[in-house]
Amino acid sequence: MKKRRIYTSYSPNTRIKDLLLDIAILFQPYSWFRGYYPSKIEEWFRNQYMTDNVFTYNYARSAIYEFLRAAGIGQNDEVIVPAFTCVAAINPVLWTGAKAVYADIDETYLSPGLGSFQKAFTDKTKAIFIQHTFGLSGDLEKTVDWAQEKGLIVLEDCTQVLNPFSQRQKILGTLGDAAVFSFGRDKVVSGVDGGVLVVNNSEFVEKMRNQQDLLKYPPTSWLLKEILYPLLWAKIKFGMKFGKLGKLLHYIFTKSGLLTRATDADEKLGLKPSYIPARLPNALARLAYRQLNDLEELNKHRAEISSIYDSGLKAISGVKRFSFPAGTILLRYPLLVRDAEKLNKYCTDRGIVLGDWYKTPVAPAEADINAAGYHSGDAPIAESVCSQIINLPTSININSSDAKYIVDVIKEFYLERS
Ligand SMILES: Cc1ncc(COP(=O)(O)O)c(C=O)c1O
């Protein structure tokens, strides 16, 4: 039996050097808020996406909210959103007073195709969100052409993709009027949290700048918990090696409120916390910037791990892989499987904690899906995918022997049932 536990989530990007940087940051409270790292991040995006119009925030959800406000979206407007997403992407629509209308997804790339957007379109539609789920992408150009014909604003959700080095993926982030990127704890590059908006349509820039000038920093208590997050998870994971100690630490850190979740309790009810929107603090920008500088290596690693899953999981009955063009970098490796819940448990019992994006069309499962404007049956394909999907880790802390072990455990599970 393998001893090391394998996690898909829970601070997956944190390497030893990130942890050391985090500790250094913890002891430099004078540079937590102000410093030059947010502008370093902006410069990085300006260079990659060849635009001057880059804005940074404490979350991608803040960026989405600020963009919708600048675009004048509000009461009586509708925004078409993918029915396989995170509540953090939907709430900003609701906070403007607009309605989120769900477009069902295409099962081959887990985001809506043109037909779904057309079906959800009404004379109240003002904007659409296109999303690169896990890094997969569909026939987006056609959708964007249609949206432009209809005079709709297009927000490109790049929170799960960041790969300007591949010729094919270079364009991701340039298709819509604006693109949003995330430095969330489980994202391509992590500052624990953080968001970037790249505005491609100059029409919105002045408003964005005016709004940005009025933004404040998030509270110190919020920031302290963000800085502690990688350290707390490192302690919990270490404790897990001694059985119950890890669980005890997790319980203590969660109950004390020190260990934060990706979305807080209010957000799961559709409410807006007071610290959204806010500026990106220097401390989080510094963490993210360290990983941005290693992005090519981090992405290459994800591709190598994905190829182990790809070849290892071929031809297993009960497992459906996704096909994707060369150059695609998967944030997590998605699979549609038979008996997803049983497989999940089987893997957990063998030390593998699989990813759960997404078990509900508006995730996480504890989110109030009705508050998000989703009604059961709105998106039957998404609902069916939610009941079958699991995701495997591709992050830098997963090595090739971990990936082969995951493959072996999944194979063993289906072999026992054949
Ligand atoms: C598809 C998608 N869009 C937007 C977001 C919001 O990103 P952030 O956590 O940086 O606000 C997330 C993650 O939470 C997401 O998965």
pLDDT, tens digit, 9 for 90 and up, residues 8-37:
999 999 999 999 999 999 999 999 999 999
**163-172, 206-215, 311-320: lowest mean pLDDT where?**
163-172
pLDDT number for residue 4: 80
Number of neighbours of residue 270 by Cβ within 10 angstroms = 20
Whether the bond between 38 and the residue before it is cis, its omega within 30 degrees of 0, is no
Q: Which residues are catalytic?
A: 187
pLDDT, tens digit, 9 for 90 and up, residues 196-247:
999 999 999 999 999 999 999 999 999 999 999 999 999 999 999 887 899 9
The reply to whether 203 and 341 lie within a common domain is no
Q: What is the DSSP string of 40-57?
A: HHHHHHHHHHT-S-EEEE
Tell me, using a 6 A CB cutoff, whether residue 286 lines ligand 1.
no
Residue 413 pLDDT exceeds 90: yes
pLDDT number for residue 418: 83
CB 91 within 8 A of CB 267: yes
In this structure, is residue 52 part of a structural domain?
A: yes
The reply to whether 83 and 199 lie within a common domain is yes
Atom of ligand 1 nearest to the CA of 85: 1
The reply to whether 54 and 158 lie within a common domain is yes
**Token pair of 395 as six digits:** 């992050």
Residue 165 pLDDT exceeds 80: no
- The residues near 240 (Cβ < 8 Å, ≥ 6 apart) are 5, 246, 247
Average pLDDT of the segment spanning 374-396: 98
Whether the bond between 10 and the residue before it is cis, its omega within 30 degrees of 0, is no
Please give the distance, rounded to the nearest whole angstrom, from the Cα atom of residue 250 to the centre of ligand 1: 24
CATH of the domain at 346: 3.90.1150.10
Whether the bond between 230 and the residue before it is cis, its omega within 30 degrees of 0, is no
Tell me, using a 6 A CB cutoff, whether residue 86 lines ligand 1.
yes
In a mutational test of the pocket of ligand 1, which residue from 61, 155, 332 has the highest number of ligand atoms less than 8 Å from its CB? Answer: 61
Please give the distance, rounded to the nearest whole angstrom, from the Cα atom of residue 363 to the centre of ligand 1: 10
Residue finishing a domain among 162, 184, 214:
214
The β-bridge partners of 197 are: 55, 180
Tell me, using a 6 A CB cutoff, whether residue 395 lines ligand 1.
no
Please give the distance, rounded to the nearest whole angstrom, from the Cα atom of residue 408 to the centre of ligand 1: 31
The reply to whether 38 and 156 lie within a common domain is yes
Tell me, using a 6 A CB cutoff, whether residue 88 lines ligand 1.
yes
Average pLDDT of the segment spanning 313-319: 91
Question: For the range 259-266, what are the long-range contacts, defined as Cβ-Cβ under 8 Å and sequence gap of 24 or more?
Answer: 259/225, 259/228, 259/229, 259/232, 259/233, 260/225, 260/226, 260/229, 262/86, 262/88, 262/184, 262/185, 262/186, 262/364, 263/86, 263/87, 263/88, 263/364, 263/367
In this structure, is residue 281 part of a structural domain?
A: no
The reply to whether 300 and 206 lie within a common domain is no
pLDDT number for residue 58: 98
Residue finishing a domain among 185, 214, 243:
214
- State the Cα–Cα distance between residues 389 and 413, nearest whole angstrom: 16
pLDDT, tens digit, 9 for 90 and up, residues 246-281:
999 999 999 999 999 999 999 999 999 999 999 999
In a mutational test of the pocket of ligand 1, which residue from 182, 192, 226, 280 has the highest number of ligand atoms less than 8 Å from its CB? Answer: 182
Residue finishing a domain among 214, 235, 260:
214
In this structure, is residue 219 part of a structural domain?
A: no
Greatest Cα-to-Cα distance within the chain, rounded to the nearest angstrom:
62
The reply to whether 208 and 320 lie within a common domain is no
pLDDT number for residue 3: 57
Nearest CA to ligand 1 atom 5: 89
Q: How many domains does the chain have?
A: 2
Query: Could you give phi then psi for residue 414, rounded to 5 degrees?
Result: -75, -30
Q: Which residue range is the domain that position 169 belongs to? A: 26-214
pLDDT band (50, 70, 90) for residue 99: very high
In this structure, is residue 151 part of a structural domain?
A: yes
Indicate the length of the chain as a whole number: 418
In this structure, is residue 248 part of a structural domain?
A: no
In this structure, is residue 396 part of a structural domain?
A: yes
The reply to whether 190 and 302 lie within a common domain is no
In this structure, is residue 267 part of a structural domain?
A: no
Please give the distance, rounded to the nearest whole angstrom, from the Cα atom of residue 376 to the centre of ligand 1: 22
pLDDT, tens digit, 9 for 90 and up, residues 321-369:
999 988 899 999 999 999 999 999 999 999 999 999 999 999 999 999 9
The reply to whether 316 and 207 lie within a common domain is no
CATH of the domain at 41: 3.40.640.10
Question: For the range 373-377, what are the long-range contacts, defined as Cβ-Cβ under 8 Å and sequence gap of 24 or more?
Answer: 373/90, 373/94, 373/99, 373/100, 373/101, 373/102, 374/83, 374/100, 374/102
Mean pLDDT taken over the chain: 96
- State the Cα–Cα distance between residues 170 and 177, nearest whole angstrom: 16
The reply to whether 60 and 173 lie within a common domain is yes
pLDDT band (50, 70, 90) for residue 164: confident
Residue 316 pLDDT exceeds 60: yes
Distances (CA, A) of 110 to 107, 254, 273, 340, 413: 5, 32, 29, 17, 25
Query: Could you give phi then psi for residue 86, rounded to 5 degrees?
Result: -100, 145
Residue 170 pLDDT exceeds 80: no
- State the Cα–Cα distance between residues 100 and 133, nearest whole angstrom: 18
In this structure, is residue 20 part of a structural domain?
A: no
Tell me, using a 6 A CB cutoff, whether residue 195 lines ligand 1.
yes
Average pLDDT of the segment spanning 42-53: 94
The reply to whether 194 and 54 lie within a common domain is yes
- State the Cα–Cα distance between residues 338 and 318, nearest whole angstrom: 5
The reply to whether 35 and 175 lie within a common domain is yes
